[in-house]
Amino acid sequence: MSPPLPPPISSFTPKVAILGAGIVGLATAFELAIKRGVPVTLYDPAPMGRGASWAAAGMLAPAFEAAAEEGVHPHLFELCMESAELWPDFSIDLAHSADTDSGYSGRPSLALAFDMAETAAMHQLARALDARDVAHEELPPASAHLLEPSIAPDLIAALQMPTDGQVDNRAVVRALIMALQRSPLATLRSEAAPLRSEGGRLTLEGHDLILAAAGWNTAAIKVEENGQMLSLVNWAPALDQIDCYGGQMLSVAHGYGSPETTLRCGSIYIAPKADRVIIGATMEPGIATDAPAPEAIAALHARAARLCPVLAELPVIETWAGIRPGTPDHAPMIGETNTPGLFVAAGHYRNGILLAPITARIIADMMLGKSLSALHASFTPARVFEAA
């Protein structure tokens, strides 16, 4: 049986095309079609949900990823916190619509320190959280070992971060696709959108509004003008600011005594899911390859085993490389471009999974003519363009 339609939202309901079926495009289609009753067509010529959203580790980590970063958008942390708070309800709504669980867990993450430099970095993070009045607790090694016995015995200090949970990102994109396939208001098309420019106006037949949400490739989306194929960046110059940041990762099988808590130490993280333990990640600016390098993977595995020795014994299930889309201030562009009717939601850098629910809300609010808070408005694509 089809799910009931949401009530009509206004006298004029736009028809929306979304270009890109990663978690941001999928979550926005979910918000529009399933929660707000707006018809949506989702286009992607690549397999849906199999880009950066598939490669991610699914950590929902405002504290570790955004609280102490320097040189980022001044309100990135607030946006990350707002989205982290949306995740419990978002995952329940998704479970109802798709009849499947997406592995949301609010179990707090632990930042670990094994030497003086790591302890100093941990204390710097704790000070940043204090300054923002965000809950956290420094744990003595014995308490950390009680919570997570797989941590190596020479732990010096640990910081518990109740704000930083996790989800199974692959389960989320699968559930979003399932929910949208069931919705009478959503159409999924495994092809590039036939975008056209007519007299300088960007059009997509049968649609009133367009959202470009194709991650690091958003600028390169094709537009046909007088028989020539041009790139979307000509209609939204801010997209030129999105760069690629490669990341290599691996997963190992669970085994006796394998970790159950998300653990972080510098650039290394260990994110246990129900069926695998993810280990990440490299950060490689300017690199856009999906081929992992065996030396980089071996180094990650060894560094993770330094935190949790049992990981060295567990068989590797998969190795992969993903491509994060980043902007100069490491925050997403969310909003309408200088081309009327063309919106963008891209450039989520290390926080695409975390920020998907709030991004979807902001775009839906804008498309339906609702006023935005100053916080949400500050992620306009115009800011990056002006700063460039």
By the criterion CB under 6 A, which residues form the site for ligand GLY? 57, 59, 65, 247, 280-281, 324, 350
CA proximity to 169, closest of 58, 246, 286: 58
CA proximity to 236, closest of 380, 364, 360: 380
CB of 93 to ligand GLY, least distance (A): 23
The residue of the chain with the least Cβ separation from ligand GLY equals 350
CB of 279 to ligand GLY, least distance (A): 11
d(CA 8, CA 205): 23
CB of 246 to ligand GLY, least distance (A): 10
CB of 226 to ligand GLY, least distance (A): 40
* Closer to ligand GLY by Cβ: residue 57 or 250: 57
CB of 64 to ligand GLY, least distance (A): 9
* Closer to ligand GLY by Cβ: residue 36 or 276: 276
d(CA 110, CA 115): 16
* Closer to ligand GLY by Cβ: residue 14 or 246: 246
CB of 183 to ligand GLY, least distance (A): 29
CB of 229 to ligand GLY, least distance (A): 32
* Closer to ligand GLY by Cβ: residue 174 or 350: 350
CB of 353 to ligand GLY, least distance (A): 7
